[in-house]
Structure 1
Amino acid sequence: MDQIKNWILENPTIYSIAKFALIVIFVLLVIQFLRRFLRKNIPDTSARYKSQKGIEFIGYTLLIILSISYFTGNIKDFTLAIGLFSAGVAFTLQELFLSIAGSVYIFVVKVYKPGDRIEINGIKGDVIDVGSIYTTMMEIGQWVSSDNYSGRIVKLSNAFVFKGAIYNYSQDFPFIWDEINLPIKYGSDIELAKSLVIDIASKALAEHTASSKTQWKEIVNKYYIEDAQIDPTLAITLTDNWIQFNLRFIVDYKKRRFTKNELHNSILKAFEGTNGKVLFASTTIELVKIPEIKVDINK
């Protein structure tokens, strides 16, 4: 023991580093213990996730304060130490600092949260985790059509919240406008076709329309925005080949593909039940004249 004491007295720097390492390990173990305790004792998924992230944030902040206080010897030197530290590493770690600042910005301003569907830096997906450096998303689209998962998990730096636009599909107003185009053959009963399409759309989208109207009123009161048409609308365009019906409607952002499939099936069955009064059109080509072909066999 005397030899160990003498060695420690002769090497104060090593002793100081070892003591600091023990403090760091202790704090990290406490953080992990609290996270496991919360994970086992909080049944609500959202509350459990937020509480664990809060423990991590408090723990890491405490570590930073303890580190600066430990090596400066006085908590009053905190501001000076932060300034010197930042000046020394700001250039080499600017992306890291920007990511950390981005995580604080996301949390405070509520840019998005786990469960939101967003598009950022050209990547679209559902947010499944917001960390201190990265946002993790389950990707949507790419080689698969519509709003289906591709199966890839994407980690994106939080710094991107300062570098471009962020499209949020679900914040404040979890509905989007969508449309389908229907080619109707010339000579069809257009009034009958219009009534069938509007009737089918109104019945199929009744739930989405009613829910969206209530939430749209809140959007109009919150933001400087004019009122919008929530009920399904139908516009007609005359083309070279057919009469095009453009059906515009509002739908839950997670049920876009299912709703379009339901509308197409219902409209197809309704048109087939008109006994030829309403027909779908396809591209047609009319040959006016076939040029003469002259062949001289002797030559």
Structure 2
Amino acid sequence: MKDFESVLVTWLFDPTVAKIIFTVVGILVIYAGVKIMRRSFARRIKEPSTRYRAHKLIGFLGYIAALFFLVVVFNRQLGGLTIAFGVAGAGVAFALQEVIASLAGWLAISFGNYFKTGDRVLMGGVKGDVIDIGMLRTTIFEIGGWVNGDQYNGRVARVTNSAIFKEPMFNYSGDFPFLWDEIVIPIRHGSEVTVVNDILNAAASEVLGEFPRQAGITWEKLRSTYLLEAAQVAHSVSMTLDENWMTFTLRYVTDFKFRRSTKTKLFSQILTGIEAHKDVVSLATSSQEIDITRVPDLTVSQPSNAH
């Protein structure tokens, strides 16, 4: 029994054991502090995206604090391994260059205003809504693919953050959460051009609602940050023609989340308007039509009887 007590006392007063215990306690204190701060910020911050960024930032600061704490505790042991760490670090840096690039990408995304959670982006060949930004990968809920239109297809993609350095990254909803879109309507020759214009303008005015006004306000704010010209956010109608038909194009601005539903409503209103004026407006088709308006006069001559 005395031997066990002496061993226990010796073990407890050993400097290495004391450092290990101190390290474990310190890490637990940092972990508890991170948990408390996250809960406190979660109660105070109501906006989801801001709360998410605060949650991630607190976690990152917790990792930094833990790393700094370990360096302070074991600084003497680490001092003698400086050269070894330098050589090993060069090899590790070469082997983990993709990981290091992803960490650099995470810093660029976090502090460079590339995008945030909730934005719709095209990154690394994947288009969708950002649902998480990690230190190595960005998680995207994909849209498109085998699904026509800007709709979710149910697939979750994880793209390395280093992708922002390798190819262009498109943000569809960051500073300007609106998109310009177009509808093309082929109209037969002989239709009333004025009536077609009225149908398209009426449909746009009814369906678009507040989108043009909101887009105009956002665009003016954007001009205070970037060197941009004034943009036409109100809808417009243009026309071209060839030997087959007249082509009317309705250009309009809409919220990036409602692109497909807006186009559906516009087509519905336009078809209703054309049907109401079918006596003067007709849709053109690529099929061949033969229109016989008059049967030519036929003269049949009787052969004369030769005697």
What does residue range 70-149 of structure 1 map to in structure 2 within 5 Å?
70-73=73-76, 86-149=89-152
Q: Report the counterpart of residue 2 of structure 1 in structure 2.
A: 6
Asked if residue 254 in structure 1 is aligned to residue 257 in structure 2, the reply is: yes
Taking a change above 3 Å as real, the CA distance of residues 88 and 48 of structure 1, as seen in their structure-2 partners, is same
Taking a change above 3 Å as real, the CA distance of residues 159 and 80 of structure 1, as seen in their structure-2 partners, is farther
2:213 to 210, 213, 218: 210
Q: Distance in 2 between matches of 1:193 and 1:110?
A: 44
Taking a change above 3 Å as real, the CA distance of residues 256 and 165 of structure 1, as seen in their structure-2 partners, is same
Q: Report the counterpart of residue 290 of structure 1 in structure 2.
A: none
Amino acid at match of 2:277: T
* Residue 72 of structure 1: how far off its partner (Å): 2.2
What does residue range 232-243 of structure 1 map to in structure 2 within 5 Å?
232-243=235-246
Q: Distance in 2 between matches of 1:235 and 1:82?
A: 68
- Paired residue secondary structure (1:255): helix
* Residue 74 of structure 1: how far off its partner (Å): 9.2
Q: Which runs of 5+ in 1 are unaligned?
A: 288-299
Q: Report the counterpart of residue 221 of structure 1 in structure 2.
A: 224
Q: Distance in 2 between matches of 1:110 and 1:252?
A: 21
Q: Distance in 2 between matches of 1:263 and 1:162?
A: 39
Q: Distance in 1 between matches of 2:31 and 2:138?
A: 22
* Residue 50 of structure 1: how far off its partner (Å): 2.3
Asked if residue 282 in structure 1 is aligned to residue 285 in structure 2, the reply is: yes
* Contact preservation (8 Å) 2:141, 2:157: yes
Q: Distance in 2 between matches of 1:212 and 1:5?
A: 74
- Paired residue secondary structure (2:148): coil
Q: Distance in 2 between matches of 1:43 and 1:286?
A: 62
Asked if residue 176 in structure 1 is aligned to residue 179 in structure 2, the reply is: yes
Q: Distance in 2 between matches of 1:227 and 1:43?
A: 35
Amino acid at match of 1:134: R
Amino acid at match of 1:167: F
Q: Report the counterpart of residue 170 of structure 2 in structure 1.
A: 167
* Residue 196 of structure 1: how far off its partner (Å): 1.6
Q: Report the counterpart of residue 153 of structure 1 in structure 2.
A: 156
* Contact preservation (8 Å) 2:204, 2:235: yes
- Paired residue secondary structure (1:204): helix
* Residue 80 of structure 1: how far off its partner (Å): 9.2
Taking a change above 3 Å as real, the CA distance of residues 42 and 211 of structure 1, as seen in their structure-2 partners, is closer
1:174-198 residue CA offsets vs partner (Å, 9 max, x unmatched): 1111001111122211221112212
Q: Which runs of 5+ in 2 are unaligned?
A: 291-307
Asked if residue 185 in structure 1 is aligned to residue 196 in structure 2, the reply is: no
* Contact preservation (8 Å) 2:49, 2:118: no
* Contact preservation (8 Å) 2:19, 2:73: no
2:276 to 264, 273, 281: 273
* Contact preservation (8 Å) 1:69, 1:75: no
* Residue 30 of structure 1: how far off its partner (Å): 3.8
TM-score w.r.t. length of structure 2: 0.81
TM-score w.r.t. length of structure 1: 0.83
Q: Distance in 2 between matches of 1:47 and 1:215?
A: 20
* Larger mean Cα displacement after TM superposition, 192-201 or 247-256: 192-201
Taking a change above 3 Å as real, the CA distance of residues 246 and 82 of structure 1, as seen in their structure-2 partners, is farther
Taking a change above 3 Å as real, the CA distance of residues 80 and 188 of structure 1, as seen in their structure-2 partners, is farther
**What value does the CA root-mean-square deviation take over the aligned residues?**
2.9
* Residue 58 of structure 1: how far off its partner (Å): 0.8
Q: Distance in 1 between matches of 2:87 and 2:72?
A: 14
Q: Report the counterpart of residue 49 of structure 1 in structure 2.
A: 52
* Larger mean Cα displacement after TM superposition, 250-259 or 238-247: 238-247
1:183-236 residue CA offsets vs partner (Å, 9 max, x unmatched): 112221122111221232133224111111122122233222222222212222
Count, aligned residues: 285
- Paired residue secondary structure (2:224): helix
1:159-186 residue CA offsets vs partner (Å, 9 max, x unmatched): 1122211111111111111001111122
Q: Report the counterpart of residue 296 of structure 1 in structure 2.
A: none
- Paired residue secondary structure (1:73): helix
* Contact preservation (8 Å) 2:178, 2:254: yes
